[in-house]
Structures are given as C-alpha cells and as structure tokens.
Chain A
Amino acid sequence: MERRANLLTELQSIAGAENVRPGDDEFAVDGVAPQAVVRPATVEAAAAVVRHANANRLAVIPIGGKQRGGPGNVPARYDIGLDVTALSEIIEYEPGDLTITCGAGITLGELRKATAAAGQMVPFDPEIAGEASVGGVLAADLWGPSRVSLGGPRDFTIGLRVITGDGLTTRAGGRVVKNVAGYDLCKLYVGSLGTLAVITEATFKVQPVPKATRELAFTAASAADACGIAGESLMRGLSLQSAVVTRADERWRLDITLAGSEAAVERSAREFASLSGDREQETGDKIGHVEGGLIGVRVAAPPSELPALLEGLPGDAHFLAYPTLGVVRLRLKDEGELPPLVAMGAVVEDAPPDVKRRIDVFGPEPLSSATGGLMRSIKAQLDPNGVLSPGRFVGRL
C-alpha cells in the first residue's frame, strides 16, 4: 500500500495533483484495475508519465472512451491508467485539404460532428458507441462494414503523434494526403493495442459525405446466393458502401447500403433489384452489429470461401458477415462454442474477463516463428522495458 501512495504522489508532481487519482474499476481493463489514473493536460505531461513508468518498470495502459471488453488479452500487469481524454481538441481542420488533425482523446461522436459541419466525414463505422475515443479505435484497429468501399483505419490515417515506451514524443507520417518520407510507422501503431506507443494525436484523410444513401435488403436462397449477389453488385460498380449477410430462422438475408449521388443511388437500387430477381424484398436496415451472446469472435477467409464457412455454422449461431471482405463476426453464448472456430483461425474480439483469462484471444499459436520474431524485435525496440499494455497483444507482447 505504501507503494501506491508513493505512485500517486509521484504522478501528482509530474502531471499536477488535480489530474491524478487512485485507480478504480472504472478504469479496469479486462477486470484488472490500475493503482493510479492520470489524465495529463498536455502531450508533454503524458510523455513524462510514460518516462516515469519506464524508469520504474510500471505498466501503463492508455485509456480513452473506456469501452469495455474489446480486443486484446488480459493485461499481464497494470499500474497506471493513462487517460488521454484531455487531449481532445481539433488541432487543425481545413476542409479544402481533406485532412483533419485531432487529439487522440476526442470521441468519434465529436469528430463526426466537426467534419459533418463541412459536409465531410472520416469514414469510421466500427460497431462501437460514439463515446469511443479516436485513439482507442485506432489502437484496436476497429472498422465496420464500409471498409469495403472506404477503407479501414490503416488506409485513412496519414499521421500520428505518439509516445514510445521509453517516453519519446515522436511523429509518424504527416499532414498531407500523399507522403512517402521515411518509414510509415502509422501502420505499426494502428492495431498495436497500445503495446508499441501511446497515440496522442492523429491526422486523417476525410471524404465528402455522400449526397444520398439508401438501404436495401432481400431474402436469399443460401449463403452462396447472398454473397454472390453482393459480389456481383461490387463488380458492376454499383454505389455499394457496404454489404452484410445474416441469417435468421433459416432465412438468409443480404442487406446493402448504397451511397453516392442521387442518380447513382437510384440507378444502383434499380440494378440491385433486378439482380435480386424474384427474391423476396425486405425493408432495408443498416445492420451494423450483431446482438446478444457473451463472446464476440471474428473469422476471416477469402471471400470465395465465405459461403461454405457460413453454411457450416450451427443453425442457432448469431453472426453477421461482410461478404465482399471475407469476414464473419459471431456472438457466442458460451465458451464451449469457441474450439471449432478457433480451429478456423478465429480471433476473439471481445469477451468477459473470466473467459479471457483462460484463453489467448488471438488463438493458440498466433505467430509463426519468423513473423513473431520480427514483431518481438519491434516491440523490444519501441518499448524496451515492456511497460506499455504488457501481455495484451498477439503472442502476449
């Protein structure tokens, strides 16, 4: 207990007394609560906190919108919750440049509001609440159905400011849409689950908001039928923003979202209707997530193999599939359903702490020796003392 008292005092002297408090369940990650939570007012203070942690081998986990149960293994250690939500301003937004720079603590909701005012958007559409922070979404590499048309975070993140495990405040990428100067370390940081660096600032490419959107759906004869029509819509160049295949009561269903100009959406809707032939039309409903269950799992396969994979799922499985991306996301009622999916290379996207403690969310052997060796070397280089989110990543990095 003495140690904890010291830690609070130390952090208070670094980041200001008003920005430090004892850790509690609100900041728990997979059921593990930190000793202390610090909410630095500046990037410099955040870096000082990381340097202090690095010097004292204290484990730091960056915290944004506190979305629980997401990706990653149970942390091996967790001493300091580094709350980045004070770093939440729009730093630079010039709509004509089609770029925006913001603090990592800004919520998706605030970011959407800022860009919507200019008729633009950063094309995030993960299945997560608007309270999620941009930094958290990037660290977890969360994306949604529009990835097929608009890309994922790796595609539209063009610059990051981060703090490495030993406390260097550094930049990767830049603020221009096209840039090949130096290594693109943004690619490393996006999806690294806070194990390589703390993201404090991000620059994105933005896009014009489509002038029109429409949701359409129909009942399909089989998974192959539903996936086939989605693929054909894509090949025909219809204004497909996303496509989702689901099954309910033995009935397969394809939901698509069209987006573009009025005329393009109108034409796409007509063509989609003719593609679907005499299949039963449904009320289109932009399905963004799959409800219920205890454990969220993702399986990826080449799109051509997806129908067989879907047909092979148990009749009562809760899932949604992105047919043109080759990804299916399932909700499982209990742990017992995991083994066959794990055998297919499934990654657990979210689960309660007690389940996570018994498994490796990335699968039993997530890294081949050669690839794993490179990843371990990179981790050792950027976080030499292993203080950033230890144990959370692939291979327990």
Chain B
Amino acid sequence: MPLSGEISTASPLFDRARARLAPVAASLIKDLQSAIGVKHVLHAPEDLLVYEYDATIERGLPEAVVLPETTAEVAAAVRVAKRHGVPVTARGSGTGLSGGAIPCEGGIVIVTARMDRILKLDPANRLAVVQPGVINLDISKAAAPHGLYYAPDPSSQKACSIGGNVAQNAGGPHTLRYGSTVNHVLGLEIVTPDGDIVTLGGEALGAPGYDLTGLVVGSEGTLAIVTAVVVRLLPQAQATITLLAVFDEVRQASEAVSAIIAAGVLPAALEMIDGKTMQAVEPFVNAGYPPDADAALLIEVEGLEEETSEQAEAVRATCEVSGAREIRIGMSPDEREKLWAGRKGALGALGRLAPSYYILDGVVPRTRLPDVLSGVYEACERYDMPVANVFHAGDGNLHPNLMFDDRVPGAAERVLELGEEIMRLCVDAGGSITGEHGVGFEKRNYMSWIFSDDDLAVMARVKSAFGAEERFNPGKVFPSSKGCGEVSSRMKTAIAKIGPDAYV
C-alpha cells in the first residue's frame, strides 16, 4: 500500500480529508449503516484515505466506504447511493493500473474484500462460482487438487481480486494461448445502477439472448458491480517447458517472436525482458543474465510431453537462427521457476534504477513489434529518459517502464508527454491504447485516437441502457475534460508514488 502506518492523524493529509468530508450528509452514512451494519461502513477521514489510491497515479477521496458481505448488501448500498444521488465505485484489491478503483467524483466506494468465498467448486463441470473478492490465485489453489486451474494470470495474481479482473478484463503472460479473463467467464451476477440483482450467462452454455456477460467483462465497473462470477477451469497441462533465449540485440529478439509464431508454434507464454531490466534484476535474483545482452525471451510451451518437447525444440532452433547467443531450458518446476524469477521480479527491481517509474500498456500487431520497439527506444533517447521494457511480446503487448526522478522540475510532465508519444506509436502501427490494464481515467482521452465519435457514442448508448449514466465509476473510459478528484494538480507527486508495489 502506498500509505503505511506511520502517518499520524494530525497530518495535513487528514485535514484535507476532513475538508472534503464536510458536505457529506450524515443521513447518507446513517442509511448505509442501516443497510449493511455500522461496523462495515467507514466514514472517518483516517479510514477513507486508505481508499483514495490504487496502484496508479490518480487519487480521489470517497465520502464513505462500505464493505458488504453479500450481494443483497451490495444492492442495498447501491440503492442508498441512488437515493442520495452519489456515485458508486467498486474496489477489489486496489492493484489496478489505470485508476479503475479510484472514486474520481467521490461518493461511495464498495469494497469487495469481505466477499471472498468460493461459493462452489464443480470439478465435474470444470467450473467454479466465486465471490468478487476472491483472490485470483486462490481459485487455482482450490482447484489444484482436482487437476484444474484458472488460466488468466496477471502478474498481481497473488493479490488481485477476480472482481477486479472481470472489471478490467485482466490478462497476463499466458493470455497468448489461453485468452484474457473474458474467455474464462461463463456467467455473472451483477447489481445494476438501480440496485437490481441480475444474473447473466450461467453454468450451461448458450443461454438465449445478447451476450451481456461478455459486455460487462472489461466495462471497468461503469455498467454494473459484479457480485459473483462463474469461471471456467482448465485441466493442468501434463508437461511444461520454459526456455530463456538471450540475444545481443533487441531487434533480433523481437524478430524471433514473429519467427516462432511463423513456425506454427503457439507458446503458452512469450515474454521479452530487455537489457535494462536484466541489469536491474540480476543483483536480486541472480538469474545469470549476461550484463552485456540487450534482450532475452522467456518462452513457455505446454501440453502433452511429446508435443511440448517438439515445440521446445522448434523454439530453440528458431531462436538460434534468429541469432540467440545462449539458450537455457528449464524442465523441472525448480528450473522453470528460476527462469521466471527474473521476469516476475522485474518490476520490483526497477525501483533500484530510479526514484520513480511510470508503466505504460500498449498493443501493436505482432509483426510491427521490431519497428515500434525501436521507436520506443528512439523516443526515450530523445527525451533522455531511461526505459526498461519487460512485456508480453507474443501478444504484441508492450509495457515500457519510464524511469525518472520526480524531484527534477518538469520531469513528471515530460514522462506524461513521452508516454503519450509512445501510445501514439502503438496506435499508428494499428494497435491499441491498452491491452490489459484498462482505460480508466488516465487513457480516456486517448480513446478518440482509436474510436470515432460515433463509435464512442454507441458505447455511451450501451451505458445508458444499463441506466449507468455517471452513477457507476464516473470519469472513466469515456473522453472528458473533467479531472479526477484533484488529480490534475497532484499528478506529478502521485506519479512519484508508483513504485515497486506496482505490477505489470
């Protein structure tokens, strides 16, 4: 958490919180308390401040925070909000990277942390029904004794909630082969902005009607609050092999990505770690990264033993042809874990290189990767801004991490400017402004780069169909000149707060 325990309630931060709280009607708090119990409604400034943040740059202070335990309590809280005309923002674990959980316009934050039960584990039908506060990895842990697991694996999977994953349509390294959250959600229970409880999809395939499940996944909490999720579970792979291929040049590595795909191999994961990242990681994890290599690919293949070894061999040969100077192969869980350690520890290690860093999330068609990556390095050089790239290369999903010192005047502005330029590179290459982190607040004004006014108008109409207007998670996804809370004035300092706690 960005805030630790040492802050005293005498801090000016709390004065600000108190000032913001002044206009809150006592009746709102009272109504919430009678709806879901006094104990689970927070309204003291020192309690609210904790919910002002997520893992990104925006901040916005709620007027009240509620921690419901049941769907009925969520619906009750939503109805109270409607009656009082205040917006509602849902919050899972607060690990999001686009400000999705930040109450930009105040109001009520509904925290799903207490809705953390796995309601049903059904190995025979390879599914589970879970409450939104269940942690991603806990589903796989619960399913493991049955030889099953939940495939989407965002890097924050030890901490992030399934409700947040559904809201953002979370991805992860294994999206390449298995798809994003939406491909693994069979049904949802939601609460609408009117406080109605609605079931979408379900445990059996093909319920007649529009695919509202698919629509709500990735809608960033603007259409509905998810109160239960039916997730598909996959059988664990029999065999997994992880390869690490080290290259002298980034271009060789990014060309190897396309070559692997062209060879007809669809790896489970295909990640790139650039030289800057390796240098940062090495002292921590002793992954054995050569200090002078410019890039490494981390490639995982899985399936039946026979197929896996064939694919590993194809990948090895392809990387060799593409100029890899060294290829390591991990077969056992220990060996594989060691190869992954550098990738998984990357973000934390980057904290060593600069006081602050800013994580970008863009997507390009896979074949454009070499050019766009060169463009990214060129732009960063022009801004004299160190960059570390560690990302989902197989999907063309870039995550440049811009490193800077926020104490240098103007540095934060330049980071945002450069970030925008890099997003432009992605869009100009036929890509998208976000592959897995979401639009949130930060990128809402980039939406018009990839969508026309009519495209956005149709999305807004769908929002109206849910009666959502600006009642759920206002200020997100759609372009607007309105600021998030006090963000525009505080963006610079907030950026500095993104640190090793962030995931990518």
Chain A residues close to B by CB (< 8 Å): 94-99, 119, 151, 154-155, 164, 168-172, 174-188, 190-192, 196, 207-209, 211, 231, 234-239, 260-261, 263-264, 266-268, 298, 300-304, 325-327, 347, 362-363, 366-368, 370-372, 374-375, 377-378, 380-382, 393-395
Taking chain A's interface residues, is the majority helix, strand, or loop, or is none over half, making it mixed? Answer: mixed
Whether A300 touches B206, Cβ cut-off 8 Å, given contacts A97-B367, A170-B455, is: yes
Closest CB in chain B relative to A206 CB, distance in Å: 11
Pair A381/B465 contact, Cβ less than 8 Å: yes
Whether A302 touches B204, Cβ cut-off 8 Å, given contacts A178-B395, A196-B210, A261-B307, is: yes
The answer to whether the Cβ of B95 comes within 8 Å of any Cβ in the partner chain is no
User: B266 is contacted by which of A185, A207, A301 (Cβ under 8 Å)?
Assistant: A207
- Residues in chain B near residue A209, CB distance under 8 A: 264
Q: Which residue of A lies closest to B258 (CB)?
A: A96
Pair B434/A301 contact, Cβ less than 8 Å: no
The answer to whether the Cβ of B303 comes within 8 Å of any Cβ in the partner chain is yes
- Residues in chain B near residue A191, CB distance under 8 A: 210-211
Closest CB in chain A relative to B78 CB, distance in Å: 14
Whether A326 touches B458, Cβ cut-off 8 Å, given contacts A178-B392, A234-B235, is: no
User: B367 is contacted by which of A94, A372, A377, A382 (Cβ under 8 Å)?
Assistant: A94
Q: Which 6 A-B pairs have the closest CB atoms?
A: A187-B214, A264-B307, A263-B306, A377-B465, A381-B461, A304-B124
Chain B residues close to A by CB (< 8 Å): 122, 124-126, 147, 168-169, 171, 175, 179-180, 182-183, 192, 196-200, 203-215, 217-219, 223, 235-238, 258, 261-262, 264-266, 303-307, 310-311, 363-367, 392, 395-397, 430-439, 443, 447, 450-452, 454-459, 461-467, 477
Closest CB in chain A relative to B196 CB, distance in Å: 5
CB pairs A–B below 8 angstroms (15 shown): A96-B258, A169-B454, A170-B455, A176-B364, A180-B171, A181-B447, A182-B439, A183-B223, A184-B215, A196-B210, A235-B147, A237-B235, A366-B209, A375-B212, A381-B461
Whether A178 touches B466, Cβ cut-off 8 Å, given contacts A207-B266, A326-B125, A347-B206, is: no
Whether A183 touches B462, Cβ cut-off 8 Å, given contacts A171-B455, A176-B365, A370-B197, is: yes
User: B306 is contacted by which of A171, A190, A267, A372 (Cβ under 8 Å)?
Assistant: A267
Whether A168 touches B198, Cβ cut-off 8 Å, given contacts A182-B451, A188-B210, A266-B306, is: no
Whether A155 touches B432, Cβ cut-off 8 Å, given contacts A178-B171, A178-B392, is: no
The answer for the CA separation of A236 and B234 in the assembled complex, in Å, is: 11
Pair B396/A178 contact, Cβ less than 8 Å: yes
Pair B209/A367 contact, Cβ less than 8 Å: yes
Q: Which residue of B lies closest to A347 (CB)?
A: B208
The answer for the CA separation of A325 and B198 in the assembled complex, in Å, is: 24
- Residues in chain A near residue B435, CB distance under 8 A: 176, 178-180
Pair B365/A171 contact, Cβ less than 8 Å: no
Pair B434/A183 contact, Cβ less than 8 Å: no
Q: Which residue of B lies closest to A322 (CB)?
A: B205
Pair B147/A151 contact, Cβ less than 8 Å: no
Whether A184 touches B125, Cβ cut-off 8 Å, given contacts A155-B179, A237-B238, is: no
Whether A181 touches B462, Cβ cut-off 8 Å, given contacts A170-B452, A371-B209, is: no
Pair B459/A185 contact, Cβ less than 8 Å: yes
Q: Which residue of B lies closest to A327 (CB)?
A: B205
Known A95-B262, A374-B465, A377-B464; further 18 A-B contacts with Cβ < 8 A: A96-B258, A96-B261, A169-B454, A171-B451, A175-B430, A178-B435, A181-B447, A184-B182, A187-B215, A187-B217, A188-B214, A264-B310, A300-B206, A302-B203, A370-B197, A371-B200, A381-B461, A382-B462
Pair B210/A181 contact, Cβ less than 8 Å: no
User: A268 is contacted by which of B124, B304, B466 (Cβ under 8 Å)?
Assistant: B304
Pair B238/A236 contact, Cβ less than 8 Å: yes
Task: Give the most central of B200, B215, B258, B433: most A CB within 10 Å.
Answer: B215
The answer for the CA separation of A78 and B402 in the assembled complex, in Å, is: 57
Pair B198/A370 contact, Cβ less than 8 Å: yes
Task: Give the most central of A178, A300, A325, A371: most B CB within 10 Å.
Answer: A178
Pair B304/A237 contact, Cβ less than 8 Å: yes
Q: Which residue of A lies closest to B437 (CB)?
A: A180
Whether A97 touches B366, Cβ cut-off 8 Å, given contacts A188-B211, A237-B237, A375-B210, is: yes
Pair A181/B439 contact, Cβ less than 8 Å: yes
The answer for the CA separation of A375 and B462 in the assembled complex, in Å, is: 10
- Residues in chain B near residue A370, CB distance under 8 A: 192, 196-199
- Residues in chain B near residue A97, CB distance under 8 A: 365-367, 396
Pair A368/B447 contact, Cβ less than 8 Å: no
The answer for the CA separation of A172 and B455 in the assembled complex, in Å, is: 7
Q: Which residue of B lies closest to A301 (CB)?
A: B204
